[in-house]
Amino acid sequence: MKIGIETISMYVPRYGLDLRILAEHRDVDYNKYHQGIGQEFMSVPSPDEDVVTMGANAAQQAMAGVDPTDVRTVIFATESGIDQSKAAAIYVHKLLSLPENCRTVEMKQACCSSSSALHFALATVALKPKEKVLIIASDIARYGLESAGEPTQGAGAVAMVISASPRIMEIGPEVGYFTEDVMDFWRPNYKNEALVDGKYSIKVYMNALEHCWKHYQEETHARFEDFDHFCYHLPFSRMGTKAHLHLARHEKAGLSSKELQAQVDPSLGYNRITGNAYTASLYMGLLSLLDNNDLNLAHKNIGFFSYGSGCMGAFFGGSVLPGYREHLNSSERAAWLRDRHHLTYEEYLSFYNHSLPQNGHNYRTSRHRSGAFRLAGVESHQRIYECVPAGAGASAESVKALAAAPAV
Ligand code: CAA
């Protein structure tokens, strides 16, 4: 029985910042961002977006053409959850009017809980082949203003339906794992921004990659040359290149640097223009590879490395299915990414500094351009979500109005 990805879609906010503008304001050579870390543009969520609205927007697209009564499990993977108790999956379940006979949970392990969600989904479908699992990975990657991590910020969500009738990719059951208790990146409950030891986190990432690959080889006897392309967790796009060269060196791959680049480069494009989206980042890399490739990738084997600081890693493989292109909304995605609104530096600061009241006071969010769902505000300590009628949305004026208004 084949089990894998039946549908996959992504959502990124309508707004973003060109890193040329950030470089100018941080007095940094733009080449450091553009070449050194490989970033050009970062997605910035508007004040009426959070992980739930982004996740619901991605999931609505992933559910198109899927019978909702087949979905018995919704798993929401996130680092930037909105509640200590209630799963974000329940809000999405309601926004998408999914059937009540459904289990709905949230999972956490930094950026890699989405991959554990995927492997739990594969196991669920193997046990109950008629059931489908909706996975949502949604995150806002946020660092301190003027910190080294600032240019790697981003936001977005990926949703996938996992089933025994995959149309995009079959995923193998074997996984190479690695866990080690380290403090490379973490976020205490009282902090809105991650604490990170950046250089150390890169070392830990590479170490986890080596261990996961070794464990995967022990489980499967796979060789580096069994894979045609690779997708890595992308905190910034250059990390994917660094990781791939590291693994190739470690394996004495014997490929030219051009051949190695061709194995990884197509997966980096979306990250360069959206930034980090933690749990969603690896799967945006997969979409980038599938969307932006002149070659037909049917039957090609893809190696995946998922990394979550703290830390846990997973290496696994998948095989692209014939006809996958017909089930990707590649041109709609390209249009959405192209038509995003470029924020000024002042607008970026005002979006960054906006926060919901910390005391639970009632609050209405200003309306911005978003997808089909938005966060309308807070009432009696509860987040209120609403559907956005098609065509409704804010003009550039409301962005300016917010920029002029003091943060809450
Ligand atoms: N022109 C071209 N390149 C330049 C340059 C210039 N003018 N100036 C600097 N560079 C290059 C540097 O040589 C360096 O390249 P190498 O990595 O090849 O040496 C690169 O640009 C970055 O420069 P620095 O190392 O000096 O950059 P930095 O100290 O400002 O910070 C960072 C880089 C540590 C990645 C920082 O962005 C950060 O802390 N990011 C957040 C943490 C992170 O992403 N960690 C990754 C692993 S953890 C993870 O994956 C989980 C997760 O999602 C967070």
Is 388 a member of any domain? no
pTM value is 0.96
Counted domains in the chain: 1
- What are the pLDDT digits (tens) for 21-70? 999 999 999 999 999 999 999 999 999 999 999 999 999 999 999 999 99
* Coil, strand or helix at 331: helix
Is 350 a member of any domain? no
Alpha helices in 107-184 (DSSP H): 113-127
What is the 53 CA–ligand 1 centroid distance (Å)?
30
| Best probe residue, ligand 1, of 29, 201, 284 (max atoms within 8 Å of C-beta) | 201
CATH code for the domain in which residue 118 is found: 3.40.47.10
For ligand 1, atom 32, which residue shows the shortest CA distance?
198
What is the 188 CA–ligand 1 centroid distance (Å)?
23
Is 377 a member of any domain? no
Is 404 a member of any domain? no
- What are the pLDDT digits (tens) for 257-278? 999 999 999 999 999 999 999 9
Beta-bridged to residue 232, according to DSSP, are: 305
Average pLDDT, the chain: 95
Is 393 a member of any domain? no
What is the 37 CA–ligand 1 centroid distance (Å)?
5
For ligand 1, atom 7, which residue shows the shortest CA distance?
32
Q: For 175-201, b where at least 16 C-beta lie within 10 A, e where not — what string?
A: bbbbeeebebbbbeeeeebbebeeeeb
Is 165 a member of any domain? yes
In this prediction, residue 404 carries a pLDDT of 46
Atom of ligand 1 minimally distant from the CA of 184 = 48
Is 394 a member of any domain? no
| Best probe residue, ligand 1, of 20, 32, 306 (max atoms within 8 Å of C-beta) | 32
What is the 375 CA–ligand 1 centroid distance (Å)?
33
The DSSP secondary structure of 55-108, one letter per residue, reads HHHHHHHHTTTS-GGGEEEEEEE-SS-S-SSS-HHHHHHHHTT--SS-EEEEE-
Residues of the chain with pLDDT under 70: 391-408
Q: Is 233 a catalytic residue?
A: yes
- Per-residue DSSP letter, 34: I
Q: From 47, 1, 13, select the one nearest 350 (Cα to Cα).
A: 47
CA distance 387 to 373: 5
What is the extent of the structural domain holding 172? 4-341
Is 73 a member of any domain? yes
Burial of 372 (C-beta count, 10 Å sphere; 0-12/13-18/19+): middle
- What are the pLDDT digits (tens) for 128-147? 999 999 999 999 999 999 99
In this prediction, residue 397 carries a pLDDT of 47
Atom of ligand 1 minimally distant from the CA of 29 = 7
CB of 168 within 8 A of CB of 293? no
